[in-house]
Structure 1
Amino acid sequence: MATPLEHLSLLRWQIAEGHALDSRDTFPGHVTTSAIVLSPDHARILLIDHVVIGRWLQPGGHWEDAATFHDSAAREALEETGVQGLRLHPWHQGTDLPFTIDSHDVPGKPARAEPAHIHHDLQYLFIADPAFPLVAQVEEVHAAAWKPIDELAGIAPTAFARLQTVPLP
């Protein structure tokens, strides 16, 4: 297993080589996007119980055609959770700069002839009101729920650590 710095070096190399990072058929790695959806007071985070992975994660998935990467992340959050009133966190200042990049190992899927590879996950911050109902996308998600923000520490430790420096909107 490679270290986070090795993964980011791989991402930089793939960018320099002109790899089609937006294609899930690009190896050794390709881009995914995810949404770190916070309550306005930053006390809770919206998580999904992922069917395939079998644990709670932030909403996200393979990049699909969108005007921006954060639009792709927002679409994943909406599809997987039905979250309402989703808006990009002011931290982004209206740009498409990711809050964090979490490049991580993904096991291969022999049934798809897919080798082990890397997901370069572009993570974006969003705000939404937890008072609105959620509707989990049952094909991919067992459940969607608002959890205490500390849950993020075990899921995306880099994002959790960085979040400690982000002021409330």
Structure 2
Amino acid sequence: MSQPAFPTRLAAAVERYRAEVAGPREHLSLLRWQMAERHALDSRDCFPGHVTTSAYVLSPDHARILLIDHVVIGRWLQPGGHWEEAESFHASAAREALEETGVQGLRLHPWHEGTDLPFVIDSHDVPGKPARGEPAHVHHDLQYLFLADPAAPLVAQIEEVHAAAWKPLAELAEIAPLGLARIKSLTPQG
């Protein structure tokens, strides 16, 4: 059986997120407008915005999070990147985490119950790249929770990442306050 088309998968993920997870002020207006207008949100050349995926990789006790020092953005962030074809949005986020950090033993957090329901959908402004003719735009970032062993070695992808490191969970306060609040509301498994 073939995979449903990207727009169908995205619509299902966004609708379910809005029904089951989103707070009262998470309207996702631009994303939903672009979906209604049938924009090619799976293309990084789609403006005013397009889909990205990222990973909140937690230690099993939820005390630490895996972050990257992003070369272009110049700050610590969760691993992630532009959508590339994958069997699911969480598989795309996992691939980005593996590519950027070399993290091993990555597993989807039980919160997801094995589904593709995003933990957070964060639409945020990003600067353009004039050298590529790319204007400032929006990343509609579908964010997923993962668990991994912080004792396993990491290998940063030097083209995009200065470093990859496990940091205290509180480091998310400046980076992703909504993600941090939701993570804090979880009870660690086991």
Bin the TM-score by the shorter chain. over 0.9
Which aligned pairs between 1:89-168 and structure 2 lie closer than 5 A?
A: 89-168=109-188
Distance 2:146 2:81 in 1: 16
Residue equivalent to 1:27: 47
After TM superposition, the score normalised by the length of structure 2 is: 0.84
Report the RMSD for the aligned CA atoms in angstroms. 1.2
Unaligned segments of structure 1, at least 5 residues: none
Other-structure match for 1:11 = 31
Name 2:20's counterpart in structure 1. Answer: none
Measure, in 2, the Cα distance between the counterparts of 1:53 and 1:122.
Answer: 19
Provide the rounded CA distance (Å) in 2 between the counterparts of 1:51 and 1:45. Answer: 19
User: Structure 1 residue runs of 4+, over 4 Å off?
Assistant: none
Q: Summarize deviations over 1:117-154 as a string: whole Å, max 9, x none.
A: 10001100000000111011111111100000000111
TM-score if structure 1 supplies the norm length? 0.94
| Separation of aligned partners in 2, 1:98 and 1:48 | 21
Verify the 8 A CA contact 1:108 1:114 in the aligned structure 2: yes
Higher relative contact order (CA 8 A, sep 6+): 1
**AA paired with 2:134?**
E
Distance 1:108 1:31, change over 3 A: same
Counterpart contact for 1:83–1:133, Cα < 8 Å? yes
Letter of the 1:94 counterpart: G
1:12-62: CA deviations, max 9, x gaps?
111111111111011110000000000000000000011111111000000
